[in-house]
A = this chain, B = another copy of it.
C-alpha cells in the first residue's frame, strides 16, 4: 500500500474498463465520449490514453474479454453425459453466465457494427466457437434419436436467441430468481427439441 502518489496503474486500469462497459452499455459506444468515461473514473480525459491506445481498442478489448471469459467458463462447466444431460447443463450454464452480465451482453451484441472489419472477424470467430458447442450437443442428440430438429444449425441459433433474450427483461429484484428462470427456460428448450 505504500505507493507513490499519482501512480494507480493497477487500480485505474480496471476502473476505466468498468466505467467504459457501463456507459457504453447504457448509451452506446458512439454516444459516449472519452471525457465522460474519464469523469466516471475520476481522472482527466488524457489519462485514459495510458490504458488504451484509442477508443476502438477499448471497445474491442471489452468484447474480446467477454467472449474469452465465456469460452473459458464453458470449458470449465460440468457439461457431460447424454445429449439430453448436456443440453440441460448448457442451458443452465448459459443463463447463469449471462444473467449477471447484462452490460457485457448488451455491448457484445450491439456494438459489433462499430468494430473495424478485422476486430469484427475476431469476435465473430469466438462467438462461432460458442455456437458450435451447442450445435454439437444438438447433433449428438439427433444421432441418439432423442432430439428431433427441423434444421440443426438454425435450431442452434434459435435456442441461443431464445436464451440470450432473457437479459432484455430479467431484473435482479424482479418476481423471478435466476433458478426459477432456469427452470422455465429449460422446460421450453427441452420440449422444443425432444423427439415425439
Contact = CB atoms under 8 A, between A and B. Distances in A.
Given A158-B165, A165-B157, A27 B150 contact: no
A113 B23 CA distance: 11
A183 interface: yes
**How many copies of this chain?**
2
A36 interface: no
Interface in A131-152: 150-151
Contacts of A162: 158, 161-162, 165
A138 B156 CA distance: 24
Interface stretch (A14-22, A66-74, A86-94, A187-195): A187-195
In the complex, which of the residues A113, A155, A181 has the most CB atoms of chain B within 10 Å of its own CB atom? A113
Given A150-B188, A158-B188, A184-B154, A27 B114 contact: yes
A39 interface: no
B169 A157 contact: yes
A26 interface: yes
Contact of A165 (B114, B161, B188, B192): B161
5 tightest A-B CB contacts, nearest first: A161-B165, A30-B31, A30-B30, A192-B192, A150-B184
26 contacts: A26-B113, A27-B30, A27-B113, A27-B114, A28-B29, A28-B30, A28-B31, A28-B110, A28-B113, A29-B30, A110-B110, A150-B184, A154-B181, A157-B165, A158-B165, A160-B165, A161-B162, A161-B164, A161-B165, A161-B166, A162-B165, A165-B165, A191-B191, A191-B193, A191-B194, A191-B196
